[in-house]
Chains A and B, each alone.
Chain A
Amino acid sequence: MKFYIPPQIPRLVIAFAIFISLFLVARHFLVPDTFGKYGHYRAASLIDNANPEIHYAGQQACFDCHQDIEDLKAKDVHSDIHCEVCHGPGEKHVLSSEAADIFKPSGREFCGSCHALNAAKPKSAIFQIDLNKHNVGKNCNECHNPHQPWEMKK
């Protein structure tokens, strides 16, 4: 008997073969369909990530209706500031056209979130005022039109 195979070997080979094939079968059914199409991930996840609804409608959606404001803004320093910077997410308002669905800011604190004096704000980037000194007690929009801030109201 030159080629003696101890009886343990074939039995173990069978056991491991069963184990591995069970694993492969399970794997076959469990791996998601689109997995690995573009890389080591579920390609369908790209669609999942593109699907959520938007809350901010984007500048153009505002101008589609509010041409007047666009013209007003264009003349002054707030021209580059998109509507939703101050008015908040507008998609709901775009869909409903209800005035209640859009935020209308006012108050010194609100304007101050950009214009209040802070040493960390670059002077070149923003016109800053000291809220404690500048016309205390008055609301900003009593003098300034937020869409056209330097066109002072009387």
Chain B
Amino acid sequence: MGNEKVKSSRRKFIKSAATLAGAAIGFSWLKSSQVLLYGAEPKDETLPWYGIVIDIQKCIGCGNCAKACKKENDVPVEPFFFRTWVEQYTVKNDGSVDIVSPNGGIDGFKQTVPDEDIFKSFFVPKMCNHCSKSPCIQVCPVGATYDSPEGVVLIDEKYCIGCRYCVQACPYGCRFIHPVKKVANKCTLCYHRLKKNLAPACMETCPTGARMYGNLRDKNSDLVKFLKEHTTQVLRPNLNTGAKLYYNALSSEVR
């Protein structure tokens, strides 16, 4: 009798343990499948979770975005400090690639290669990818850079010690040390504008609508619809940064 009871309780234990383990495995699988699109899970359900799309097929290289960004965010005008910039790629018929970004594209572009030598040519605007598994946040020793509840990677200018580790860690070259404030600086997705329901300056001033931002959590947002209907890619997917900046029609030459 007693023996039977022990056995049954043991069976119960094994059963519940198996259920638990199964649930854990199932749950982790479920989680990992979400990771595929957005990189990581948003924390606060009530807030939007921002992602960005840049459509290379729409960018005409006017440089308005880079210019407006500097004006909006008080970035020094010297050509060494950019929160966003535009690159012009020219793949030549001989297979070599010519990349230029004079003054970040602010003054516009001249065609560097004559028409007959061009295999293809296109512009690529660059900005912070607002990675959800961001290497810059990972390495900050003091917590002076962080993922806001809206999924925007921000800097605490009053807390940054200026060690430059984050600048080293960003694979996209999006960070710099502000020469006046002497702390790290980068794109905030115009967090101060988002909070006032205004579009980031680069998007407000893009004449062709090549840049888009939106709420990744809202399945009906224009952004999510765009992601659904287009073949998009992030930069350096091999580094698993969880980038939330998706490029449409990204060519393999782009780094």
The answer for the CA separation of A55 and B101 in the assembled complex, in Å, is 25
Chain A: minimal CB distance from B113 (Å): 8
Q: Mark B136-171, 1 if CB is under 8 A from A, else 0.
A: 000000011111110000111111000000000000
If A82-B205, A85-B64 are given as contacts, then 7 extra A-B residue pairs at C-beta distance below 8 Å, sorted by A number, are A39-B147, A45-B157, A46-B154, A58-B199, A113-B63, A121-B61, A121-B123
For chain B, give the interface size range: 35 or more
CB-based contact B122/A120 at 8 Å: yes
Pick from B20-28, B187-195, B219-227, B235-243 the stretch touching chain A: B187-195
- If A45-B159, A49-B188, A119-B111 touch, does A113 touch B154 (CB 8 Å cutoff)? no
21 A-B interface contacts by CB (under 8 A): A39-B143, A40-B143, A40-B146, A41-B156, A45-B146, A45-B158, A48-B157, A49-B148, A53-B192, A56-B201, A58-B199, A82-B204, A88-B71, A113-B63, A114-B60, A116-B108, A120-B109, A121-B123, A125-B57, A125-B60, A125-B208
| A54 partner residues in chain B, CB cutoff 8 A | 72, 192-193, 196, 198
Is A120's CB under 8 angstroms from B156's CB?
no
A29 to B111, CA, bound (A): 59
B177 at the interface (CB under 8 A from A): no
B60 in contact with A119 (CB, 8 Å): no
Q: Does A1 contact B (CB under 8 A)?
A: no
B132 within 8 A of A: no
Name the 3 nearest CB pairs between A and B, nearest first.
Answer: A41-B146, A45-B156, A120-B121
- In the bound assembly, the distance between CA atoms of A81 and B207 in angstroms comes to 5
Q: CB of A139 within 8 A of chain B?
A: no
State how many angstroms separate the Cβ of B163 from the closest Cβ of chain A: 16
Q: Give CA–CA (A142, B143) in the complex, Å.
A: 56
| Minimum C-beta distance from B66 to chain A (A) | 12
Residues of B within 8 A of A59 (CB): 204
A35 within 8 A of B: yes
Tell me which residues from 76 to 114 in chain B have a Cβ below 8 Å from any Cβ of chain A.
88-90, 108-111, 113
Residue B40 is within 8 A (CB to CB) of chain A in the complex: no
* A50-B149 contact in complex given A89-B72, A114-B62, C-beta closer than 8 Å: no
Is A126 within 8 A of B60, CB to CB? Answer: yes
Q: Is the CB of B205 within 8 A of A84?
A: yes
Given contacts A42-B156, A122-B57, contact A58 B204 (CB under 8 A): yes
Determine the chain B residues whose CB is within 8 A of the CB of A85 once the complex forms. Answer: 64, 204-207
Q: Give the residue name and chain of the B residue nearest to A78 (CB).
A: B207
Cα separation A39 to B42 with both chains bound (whole Å) = 13
Task: Using known A-B contacts A42-B158, A118-B109, A120-B61, determine if residue A50 contacts B205 with beta carbons closer than 8 Å.
Answer: no
Interface of B is mostly: loop
Interface string of B40-62 (1 = CB under 8 A from A): 00000000000000001111111
Q: Say how far B222's CB is from chain A's closest CB, in angstroms.
A: 14
Max chain B Cβ within 10 angstroms of own Cβ: one of A49, A53, A85? A49
Residues of chain A within 8 A (CB-CB) of B123 are: 120-121
How distant is the Cα of A40 from the Cα of B138 in the complex, in angstroms? 11
For B195, give its contact among A50, A55, A122 (CB under 8 Å).
A50
Partner of A35, one of B59, B143, B198, B207: B143
Measured in the bound complex, the distance between the Cα atoms of B209 and A124 in whole Å is: 13
How far, in whole Å, are A38 and B154 apart by their CA atoms in the complex?
Answer: 13
Contacts of A119 in B (CB 8 A): 90, 111, 113, 115, 118, 121
